[in-house]
Amino acid sequence: MVKSFWKRTRETMSSFVVNNVAGESGRKLPQYVAGLAASGGALAAGTFLGWTSPAEYPLVQQQEYGFPISAEEFSWIGSTANLGAALMCFPIGIMMKMIGRKWAMLTMVLPLLLGWLLIIFANNVGMLIAGRFFLGVGGGAFCIAGPTYTAEIAQASIRGTLGTFFQLLVTIGILFVYAVGAGVSVQVLSIICGVIPIAFGLIFFFMPESPHYFIEKNRDDDTSKSLKWLRGSRYDERAEIEELKADDAKMREEKITFVQSFQQRATVRALIIALGLMFFQQVSGINAVIFYTTTIFNDANTGLEATAATIIVGVIQVVATLLATFIVDKAGRRILLLISDFFMAVSTILLAVYFQLKEDDASQVENIGWLPVLAVCLFIAMFSIGFGPIAWLMIGELFANNVKAYVSPLAGAFNWLLSFLVTKVFTNLRDALGIAGVFWLFSGLSLLGTVFVFFLVPETKGISLAEIQRMLSGEKVRRSSGHSNQGMEEDEKTASH
């Protein structure tokens, strides 16, 4: 009965008439449905990322689970998920090649379920830490598999739009946890979160496998069926299959070893830029702000209910991420990164000043309780239009296709490990430096990141992937006006002499 329902739904979708874009044929609605279904994994990832914020106070201060949890222990609970995510960056790539993108993602429902079950029934700190680790394994895998699947099922004219679904659903997942966590116990919240991967699995089970996977396995009939599902039953898939075969043959022909990939100047420079963006993304303090939003508002003593303030922050994050999807191809990557990092520094300076005044004399801040709320909202908004989505977007643009298999997991693992480090040491830094000192540190690192972007990060808007590789190799490439990069141009001049 369920299968017949999905069959009727697919036939209905196939009957929609959509105007051709850029000479392409085929229906777009089934691709949107498959892309949204895949992004259900992002929703699940967002819930585990946001969970620590509403959970910290009830678990640590109120001992809601019936056993004591220290601030140090909770820092391990909060950060261990990042270790699980970092560990999955390389295995998920292997799984996608062996069993396909679809089944690799469906398999990740199991660690997510295990993680939530351990948290729901936890009777000691060890179970909470283990649960968070398994949530990281499942959620971290989605952060690589989801965008890969979405990019491979979409036609070029809608690939960019479908590509924004993942980051958007992550932020919606965080907002969902903030909102639900304000009204229910931690255990009930965890039960609700545990339902999401089950719902994802039930929906995504009926989606097609990526046609790219079938091409890799020389399964032409299955490729045809997949494309018919995605483009509509009347779509003539033969030309697209031939194109996919040609791309696959070229990839095999250009395949190089891990060592050879790092002997290319373009790869080395791209890796420096990519790891730099990952580094400054994380040391801006974003995960510390997300994980400990409630604590920040409690410490700030704003007079605003901390849970309400947290929900406001979640809404701003969703709206700003949605805004970024519309402006990134118009404004350009580099200018948004510069604006983002500079104003994140301004935000953390405002937080540092507020808490410094509060430490010196609490009466000084009695009438400016709105300041930390404004600063955190500005921080989240600026992160979400720049360093949040664009750092990941540029990973896909900076590397040549024949080295992406090596460097993309490397960049992902580096990001999650940094996220673990920042989340773990936030509590320790707060104890050692005071909360004001922590935000002074974050602001200094964000200003350093702004300098890094100005001198080292090129503008990739309006430049083909092949031209980006030539630019990174030191050749002069014609750029869109207004988006020059002084650091790159000086290096190109040196290379030309």
Amino acid at 272: I
Neighbouring CB atoms inside 10 A of 398's CB total 28
Q: Rounded to whole angstroms, how far apart are CA atoms 148 and 302?
A: 42
Residue whose token pair is 């948004």: 336
Phi, psi for residue 318 in degrees, rounded to 5: -65, -50
The first and second tokens of residue 450, run together, are 């702004």
Q: How far apart are CA 168 and CA 166, in angstroms?
A: 5
pLDDT at 493: 46
What's residue 302's pLDDT?
A: 65
For 453, what's the count of Cα atoms within 13 Å in the CB-facing half-sphere? 29
Instruction: Report d(CA 355, CA 353) in Å as an integer.
Output: 6
Amino acid at the residue 270:
A
> Token match 């709206």: residue?
319
Question: How many residues appear in the chain?
Answer: 497
Phi, psi at residue 189, to the nearest 5°? Answer: -60, -45
Q: What is the pLDDT of residue 482?
A: 43
Structural tokens at position 21: 């874009």
pTM confidence score: 0.77
**Which amino acid, one-letter code, is at 479?**
R
Residue of 329, 423, 327, 462 whose CA lies nearest to 381: 327
Single-letter residue type at 256: I
Digit-by-digit pLDDT tens for the chain (497 residues) are 545 545 554 444 443 333 333 344 678 889 889 989 998 888 999 998 889 888 888 998 888 898 999 988 998 998 899 999 999 988 988 888 889 989 999 999 999 999 999 999 999 999 999 999 999 999 888 888 888 888 788 876 676 677 778 878 888 998 899 899 888 999 999 999 999 999 999 999 999 998 988 988 889 899 889 899 988 888 887 888 888 888 778 777 777 777 777 777 888 888 899 999 999 999 998 876 766 676 677 766 666 676 777 788 888 888 888 888 777 767 778 899 999 999 999 999 998 888 888 888 777 777 777 788 788 889 989 998 888 888 887 876 777 766 776 777 888 889 889 988 887 888 788 888 888 899 999 999 999 999 999 999 888 776 766 677 778 877 776 654 444 454 444 444 444 44
Supply φ then ψ for residue 217, to 5 degrees. -95, 5
Taking residue 327's Cβ as centre, other Cβ atoms within 10 Å add up to 11
Rg of the chain over Cα atoms, rounded to whole angstroms, equals 23
Q: What is the pLDDT of residue 22?
A: 38
338 touches 199 (CB < 8 A): no
Task: Please state the separation of Cα 446 from the chain's center in Å.
Answer: 19
What tokens were used for 52? 């620590």
CB 341 within 8 A of CB 251: no
- Enumerate the H helices of 100-155 as residue ranges: 101-107, 109-120, 125-153
